Amino acid sequence: MKPVKVDTPAVLIDLDIAERNVVKFQEYCDSHGLKLRPHVKTHKLPRLAKFQVQQGAVGITCQKISEAEAMIAGGDLSDVLITYNILSPEKLTRLRKLSEKVSLSVVADSAVVVDGLGNAFENARLPLAVLIECDTGSGRCGVQTPSQAAVLARQIATYSGLNFAGLMTYPPIGEPTKVAKWLADAKSMIEASGQKVETISSGGSPDMWHAHEIALTTEYRIGTYIYNDRSLLEKGVCTLSECALSVLATVVSVPTENRAIIDAGSKILTSDLLGLNGYGVIIDHPNIVIDQLSEEHGRLVSEDPIGLTVGQKISIIPNHVCVVSNMVDSVVLTRANEIISFEPVAARGMVR
């Protein structure tokens, strides 16, 4: 692969690959009757979120209010789910203002969160849609049992400014039967009290091609699929030709025949290992390992002569692209190895 001519370190996005990835998974969801709601934390670019919606996505998923605010400011996005427990008066005030601009839904997994939402949306023009987050085995946020989900659904119904909208989960990898039973039990208990469960939202890129195997799922949230990364590559979810984001780096030192140093460290490649050996795979040099990162340096080692020279540019598929997107002010958009634009990362640093 011949890298484009740009100063380093830089994050490059191949738009042709990214767009093909979006279309491919949208077609998969359409074929299985799943609504697709992509998670924009992977790219943080209104331009790509709009493309995802244009291809058939029902809306977008954001993790924080500030991220949603930044994406909506980019225009043409009208349906947003925020998959994070929202607390504090300041955040709740911003949330209500946001609800006046777009069709908005959120999640909750406790009475405290529901009470905050209910009080904040008292006398709202339209009720806020609330999904109950369910821990179906991943050990993150979420109610722990289907019966707890049913109790929380009834609490949501006591607030005039809220509307119980369904269930949401980030499922454990490779356990569709277990997840399906958990959700089915919760749905049954909630419906027994006379409430409808209109949406069951699941997600996760590692199991993206098995999304339809979790029975009852109506919506799928996914982020990494638009770029793919080394973690998905190692799991066999994608191929190298389907990796749209790469980090372009320059070899700044070759102190020994088996070691080289590049100008990309933890501030751009991230320190996420995700159980992998090294901090990324080098395109055209798969046998070289990026074994150490300091803030501004990456160390490359090889059992054989490393075969790199000072000033040489290399392209790296990082372990975890979602973090990389939040490391830079702008990314380099390319087509056919030519620069299209330097695109500001609109939602960079939006963590509140």
The pLDDT confidence band at residue 1, using thresholds 50, 70 and 90, is low
Indicate if the pLDDT at residue 22 is higher than 80: yes
Query: Which residue intervals of the chain bear CATH 3.20.20.10?
Result: 16-226
Given a contact cutoff of 8 angstroms between Cβ atoms, the answer to whether 237 and 53 are in contact is no
State the DSSP code for 127: P
What is the average pLDDT across 270-299?
Answer: 97
DSSP 184-242: HHHHHHHHHTT----EEEEE-STTGGGGGGSTT--EEE-SGGGT--HHHHHTTSS-GGG
Q: pLDDT at position 74, please?
A: 85
Q: Residue 3's pLDDT is what?
A: 60
Q: Is the pLDDT of residue 205 over 70?
A: yes
Amino acid at 159: Y
- Tell me what pLDDT residue 5 has: 82
pLDDT score for 76: 87
**Alpha-helical runs (H) found in the chain:** 15-31, 46-54, 65-73, 89-99, 111-120, 146-157, 176-192, 230-234, 266-269, 321-325
**CB atoms < 10 A from the CB of 46, how many?**
22
Q: What's the CATH code, domain 16-226?
A: 3.20.20.10
The model's pLDDT over 39-95, given as tens digits with 9 standing for 90+, comes to 999 999 999 999 999 999 999 999 999 999 999 998 789 999 999 999 999 999 999
C-alpha to C-alpha distance for 12 and 45, rounded to whole angstroms: 13
CA–CA distance from 268 to each of 72, 108, 221 (Å)? Answer: 26, 33, 26
Residue 2 reports pLDDT greater than 70: no
- pLDDT classification of 321: cutoffs 50, 70, 90: very high
Contact 109, 85 (CB under 8 A): yes
pTM of the model: 0.96
In this prediction, residue 156 has a pLDDT band, given cuts at 50, 70 and 90, of very high
Structure token pair of residue 332: 């380099």
Report CA dihedral (84, 89, 94, 96) to the nearest 10 degrees.
90
Q: Which pairs count as long-range contacts for 60-64, CB under 8 Å and 24+ apart, including other chains? A: 61/37, 61/203, 61/221, 61/223, 63/39, 64/350, 64/351, 64/352
What does pLDDT average to over the chain?
Answer: 97
> Are the C-beta atoms of residues 223 and 263 closer than 8 Å to each other?
no
CA distances from 8 to 2, 49, 196, 293 (A): 15, 26, 53, 16
| Calpha distance 189→56 (Å, rounded) | 32
Beta strands in 232-327 (DSSP E): 245-256, 259-262, 281-282, 289-293, 298-301, 313-317
Nearby residues of 90 by Cβ (< 8 Å), 6 or more positions away: none
CATH level 2 (architecture), domain 230-344:
Beta Barrel (2.40)
